[in-house]
Amino acid sequence: MKSRSQADTGAQAAALPLVELKNCTMEFPGVRALDNVNFTLMPGECHGLVGENGAGKSTLSKCITGENHMTRGELFMEGKKVRLSGYSIKESQRLGLQVVHQEFQLMSEMTGLENIFIGHYARRGGLIDWKTLNRRARELMDFLQCDVDLNVPVHYLRTAEKQIIQLAKAVQSESKVLILDELTAVLQEKDILNIFRIIGILKAKGMGIIYISHRLNEIFECCDSYTVLCDGRHIDSGNVRDIDQQKLIKMIIGRELTQVYPKMGTQFGDTMLEVKGLTAPRAFRDISFYVRSGEVIGLAGLVGAGKTELVQAIFGTHPVTGGTILIRGREVKIKNPEHAIRLGLGYIPDERRTLGLNMKFDIKENTVLPSMSKFRKFKIFQDHRAEARSAYDINEKLELSYYSLWQSVEKLSGGNQQKIVIAKWMLRNSEIFLLDEPTRGIDVGAKFEIYKLIHELTRQGKSVVMVSPELEELIGLCNRIYILYEGSIMDIVEGERKTQEVIISSLLGVNGK
């Protein structure tokens, strides 16, 4: 393996690697998640770990932290061999390893302060020494150069602020290695830049960072080195400055990806969905937009701008106090999701684990669930073979990485779970699709497949309303983009105004309609 660490400058060459994983193989029943992988992390290095969904990135990080017990291989920390029998998360934390995931691991009823120090409370005479903890928390925030209110329960905080608390919790003890597993998947540009700034501070302190993300531009913005995994195998490692995005994509998906966005149509049919003056207290007010047959429209806005509540309101899961919704020109009062589905709406939620999938069901059941009636023979018998065939076809199209349709969805990688959420609505034959961050956590190759599917839907005359934090994606797919700012439509962007600059200034509330 040619690792950046070996190819690096004199100052670092003398240092011992913080983490060195040699010939790591990890087998789960029926799956070889890692196959003889080598990985090295040096002090002061931010190392990007990339690969398709199910490539083994999270598994690799879990082998390092002791959450997974590798089947074969060796682990060294600062040159010392780690005894793998009995190695555990607790032990890895003692050695200075910390992980921050995209999914929150915070206690939502507890304050930031309590969350940061949970398990490490300073005590005086048996009582918790809040004065010391408060001082340490202030020092920590100063060190990270962040200002987050640590005295309110964390569920009141913005997503980005919760991530800062998670980071503070991870770096408060003597941590040397920080693993960030798709941390930025739920964040917006501005907050991502803040994370990059914090990574800079941690690197300067000599910490090593393993950075996992599907947003490849981030790898180029904040990582020094990269490792590509494919199907559990080590494809390449090296310096980020020696490669470009095209090369990286080719290594990840094994082929070139020249045109990422399909050419979208410009001829549209009748208005399928129209929203007039829709209002929900504390979420959004006076929202009006429309989408025609064959058209994709976008909803953009910072976290908390009201986009998710808006699509939920249309799908009947968020109460509204005013305004009207029209489907094919007819006013409707959508009472609940079942009603919305009957009216031809399909919804892909942003929170896949709680809203999108039933973790107790297998892949096939999850995929066909909303379209059960489509597979009914003579109105009584369920045609299980047809169900399985359709589930197979759609999941193959999305390049799901799985070994059986009858396998539980729970153990699938995050991105593969998201693909199933998408597959089930694609199968359902809805007329109007509400997609809330459909490509979150999805690898570049599969993103491309999803863009193609969206394109295909519009060719069939369907309508798509899409929420996405990735502006490039909105610009590439949407005919018109509505920009929400603090619950109101701040701007409508189409034609020549569809540029990153215009959208960003509207997102921040700078320009108007």
User: How many residues of this chain interact with Mg ion, rule: CB under 5 A?
Assistant: 3
State yes or no: residue 213 binds Mg ion (CB under 5 A). Answer: no
Q: Which region, judged by CB under 6 A, interacts with ligand ATP, from 27-35, 198-206, 304-312, 316-324? A: 27-35
Q: How many angstroms separate the CA atoms of 106 and 116, rounded? A: 9
47 binds, among ligand ATP, Mg ion, none (CB under 5 to 8 A by kind): none
State yes or no: residue 438 binds ligand ATP (CB under 6 A). Answer: no
Smallest separation, CB 183 to ligand ATP (Å): 12
Q: Which is nearer to ligand ATP, 177 or 179 (CB)?
A: 179
The CA-based diameter of the chain, rounded to the nearest angstrom, is: 75
Q: Which of 33, 272, 434, 465 binds ligand ATP (CB under 6 A)?
A: 33
Q: Which region, judged by CB under 5 A, interacts with Mg ion, from 51-59, 220-228, 253-261, 454-462? A: 51-59
State yes or no: residue 55 binds ligand ATP (CB under 6 A). Answer: yes
Please write down the HEC assignment for all residues of 15-46.
CCCCEEEEEEEEEECCEEEEEEEEEEECCCCE
State yes or no: residue 184 binds Mg ion (CB under 5 A). Answer: no
List the one residue out of 171, 174, 115 whose CA is nearest residue 144. Answer: 171
Smallest separation, CB 180 to Mg ion (Å): 12
Q: Which amino acid is at 374?
A: K
Smallest separation, CB 419 to Mg ion (Å): 13
Smallest separation, CB 33 to ligand ATP (Å): 3
State yes or no: residue 58 binds ligand ATP (CB under 6 A). Answer: yes
Task: Kindly write out the interface string for residues 351-390 of this chain, putting x where it contacts ligand ATP by CB under 6 A and - elsewhere.
Answer: ----------------------------------------
State yes or no: residue 59 binds ligand ATP (CB under 6 A). Answer: yes
List the one residue out of 97, 106, 119, 85 whose CA is nearest residue 152. Answer: 106
User: To 10 degrees, the CA torsion angle through 332, 334, 340, 346?
Assistant: 90
349 binds, among ligand ATP, Mg ion, none (CB under 5 to 8 A by kind): none
| Residue 502 near residue 487 (C-beta atoms within 8 A) | no
Going from the C-alpha of 303 to that of each of 29, 79, 473, the distances in angstroms are: 39, 43, 17
Q: Which of 47, 57, 292, 352 binds ligand ATP (CB under 6 A)?
A: 57
Q: Which is nearer to Mg ion, 61 or 506 (CB)?
A: 61
Task: Kindly write out the interface string for residues 389-418 of this chain, putting x where it contacts ligand ATP by CB under 6 A and - elsewhere.
Answer: ------------x---------xxxxxx--
Q: Which region, judged by CB under 6 A, interacts with ligand ATP, from 52-60, 87-95, 124-132, 362-370? A: 52-60
| Residue 321 near residue 333 (C-beta atoms within 8 A) | no
Q: How many angstroms separate the CA atoms of 149 and 161, rounded? A: 9
Q: How many angstroms separate the CA atoms of 336 and 422, rounded? A: 20
Q: Which is nearer to ligand ATP, 181 or 295 (CB)?
A: 181
Smallest separation, CB 254 to Mg ion (Å): 19
Quickly count: other Cβ atoms within 10 Å of residue 131's Cβ: 10
State yes or no: residue 51 binds ligand ATP (CB under 6 A). Answer: yes
Quickly count: other Cβ atoms within 10 Å of residue 500's Cβ: 12
State yes or no: residue 58 binds Mg ion (CB under 5 A). Answer: yes
Could you say which residues in the range 235-274 bind ligand ATP, by CB under 6 A? none
Quickly count: other Cβ atoms within 10 Å of residue 418's Cβ: 27
Q: How many angstroms separate the CA atoms of 50 and 30, rounded? A: 23
Q: DSSP H helical segments within 88-158, as ranges?
A: 89-94, 112-117, 130-144
Please write down the HEC assignment for all residues of 389-402.
HHHHHHHHHCCCCC
Site of interaction with ligand ATP (CB under 6 A): 28, 31, 33, 51, 53-59, 401, 411-416
Binding site for Mg ion (CB under 5 A): 58, 413-414
